[in-house]
């Protein structure tokens, strides 16, 4: 009886492993077929020529990325004449992830006015820290963010 149980468990495990591998292959194929090139507009804006730039590389479906989305939208408007804040979905623009060597998301990269990378952070970044990083690059925060 014990050998029959072992065979059954082994068979179930083998089927589960095969299903997992098949699912991963299908997901990768679906990802590749859905993957699009980053638009020329995105590529020309990252980093923005002559402006301090914060590039946030994440995905629309990533939980910490979703948490950062309203912060980025708010700061993008607040800093529109001072700095560029750009979000790129690396699941839709895989070549951008490769270009910047992204291993985990979200990843924020700060560039100076010359387009040189000066800071990189992986994980959620709060509003106060983003403002501090932009300030460290010489970008004066809008009035309402100066004491935050």
Active site residues: 62, 65
Residues 79 and 139 sit within 8 Å (Cβ to Cβ): yes
Q: How far apart are CA 120 and CA 68, in angstroms?
A: 16
* Cβ neighbourhood burial of 130 (10 Å; 0-12, 13-18, 19+): buried
Q: What are phi and psi of 89, to 5 degrees?
A: -80, 110
Distance of CA 11 to the CA centre of its chain: 40
> What's the distance, Cα to Cα, between the start and end of the chain in Å?
69
Residue whose structure tokens are 């068979």: 11
């Amino acid at each position: 009886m014990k050998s029959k149980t072992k065979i059954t468990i082994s068979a179930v495990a083998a089927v589960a492993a095969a299903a997992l591998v098949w699912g991963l292959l299908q997901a990768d194929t679906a990802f590749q077929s859905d993957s699009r090139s980053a638009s020329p507009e995105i590529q020309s804006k990252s980093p923005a020529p002559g402006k301090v730039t914060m590039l946030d590389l994440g995905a629309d479906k990533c939980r910490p990325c979703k948490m950062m989305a309203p912060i980025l939208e708010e700061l993008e408007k607040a800093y529109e004449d001072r700095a560029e804040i750009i979000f790129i979905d690396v699941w839709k623009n895989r070549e951008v992830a490769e270009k910047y060597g992204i291993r985990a998301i979200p990843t924020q990269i700060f560039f100076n006015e010359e387009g040189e990378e000066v800071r990189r952070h992986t994980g959620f970044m709060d509003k106060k820290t983003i403002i501090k990083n932009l300030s460290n690059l010489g970008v004066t925060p809008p009035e309402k963010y100066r004491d935050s």
